[in-house]
Chain A
Amino acid sequence: MAKSIAQEFTKGLWKEIAPFRLVLGLCPVLGVTTSMKNGIGMGLATTFVLLCSNILVSLLRKVIPSKVRIACYIIIIASFVIVVEQMLQAYAYDIYKSLGVFIPLIVVNCIVLGRAEAFASKNGVVPSIADGLGIGIGFTLSLAALGAVREILGTGALEGDIFGHLAYHVPNLFGASFEPFAFAIQAPGAFVCLGLMLCLMNLVPSK
């Protein structure tokens, strides 16, 4: 095997971090990152789907006929997305409401299908778990970072919790005279913030 398990995991965190290095899966990246809380929620939901679909696709890779493989992957992915949707609705209703249509859209997230097709269908279960976790956590970090930048610019502060636990609160960073930069939390602001973050990341050379 060319790469170790650790390498499969860490590549998703920086070298192939999906939204920034590969510029993939931008629909949720732009759509839900109006706050750090939403970004983390979306990231964790996607990570769960990615991990489960990677495991199942990898387990079934010898059984699934290649001609109908995409259909099989979509059945697997869609099932896990429905599980996530139901669970969020049952246990984290506010996150479910603020993510709205973006939860069912995980089905067509090209990162999830991409990892199933490009990685899990060709590798064993353990590397697939490492790959799914790495890419998923990288995706979560990207969404959280972009959400944090937009929330700070747009409201001056950070506030929220992760599924009702781990509440965080960063008070107004710029003092009382701060005028909220509402552009940052509107849709065009998402493109500008993403562009600036891409630009910053490209300043760091990737080997």
Chain B
Amino acid sequence: MGEMIKMVVVLTVLSVISGGGLKWIEEFAKPKIEAQVLENVKGPAIREILAGASNDPVESRFRIEDGEQEHTVFVGAFDGKADTVVLESEGRGYGGPIGLLVAVNVEKDQLLGVSVTTHTETPGLGAQAKDNPAFAAQFRGKPVDKPFAVTNDGGDISAISGATITSRAVVDAANRALTLYQNFKPQLTEEMQRAVK
């Protein structure tokens, strides 16, 4: 019996110390990782969907508060006129969270495009959401007043074959961004002018 208790105590103590330590490490590394991701992953993706913008969208960014959550918004200006916002969103994919950037033209209430940033989907199947530009291209020019759905669920986005969960996750992430956009539209239009100098 004594050995039994010792096993439980040792494992528990070890797990608690390990968990606590890792939490601390995570807190420490988080801002640096965010900076790296912004520079290496999101930056290029943002510049790609806002190709032709006359400003640097990564520099022209601001934050909005949605209850407890904070969202970063990137602003794109075309011909010197700020009319596009890029929102970050996340969906639950097959292998973990899928990060999605959604660019919305505020004046036309239209989607300029979406781009998958971080993901851990299966190479060749789910990873096509990022690797195959045809999938993301389906969102281009769509109006923002109607939520998206894959064809199986009665929508008009054709899913990647063999990766329905991934496709649904991307659609879900896009819808979340749209909800955010709808809820914050007045605030977004006001702040975006200020963000672009």
Residues of A within 8 A of B (CB): 63-65, 67-68, 71-72, 75-76, 78-79, 82-83, 86-87, 89-91, 93-94, 97
Contact = CB atoms under 8 A, between A and B. Distances in A.
Given A68-B7, A89-B36, A91-B32, A83 B14 contact: no
Contacts of A67: 3, 7
Given A75-B18, A82-B22, A90 B33 contact: yes
Nearest to B21: A79
Contacts of A89: 29, 33, 36
Nearest to A86: B29
Given A82-B25, A86-B33, A93-B39, 11 more contacts: A65-B6, A65-B10, A68-B7, A75-B11, A76-B14, A79-B22, A86-B29, A89-B33, A89-B36, A93-B40, A94-B40
A99 to B, nearest CB: 14
Interface of B: 3, 6-7, 10-11, 14-15, 18, 21-22, 25-26, 29, 32-33, 36-37, 39-40
Contacts of A68: 7, 10-11
Contact of A90 (B11, B18, B32): B32
B14 A75 contact: yes
Nearest to B15: A75
A64 B29 CA distance: 30
Chain A residues touching B, majority SS: helix
Contacts of A82: 22, 25
Nearest to B120: A101
30 contacts: A63-B10, A64-B10, A65-B7, A65-B10, A67-B3, A67-B7, A68-B7, A68-B10, A68-B11, A71-B11, A72-B11, A75-B15, A76-B14, A76-B18, A78-B18, A79-B22, A82-B22, A82-B25, A83-B22, A86-B25, A86-B29, A86-B33, A89-B29, A90-B29, A90-B32, A90-B33, A93-B36, A93-B39, A93-B40, A97-B40
A63 B17 CA distance: 15
Closest 7 CB pairs of A and B: A90-B32, A93-B36, A86-B29, A79-B18, A90-B29, A65-B7, A89-B33
Nearest to B19: A79
B25 A72 contact: no
Contacts of B21: 79
A122 B153 CA distance: 60
A75 to B, nearest CB: 5
Contacts of A90: 29, 32-33, 36
Nearest to A73: B14
A78 B18 CA distance: 9
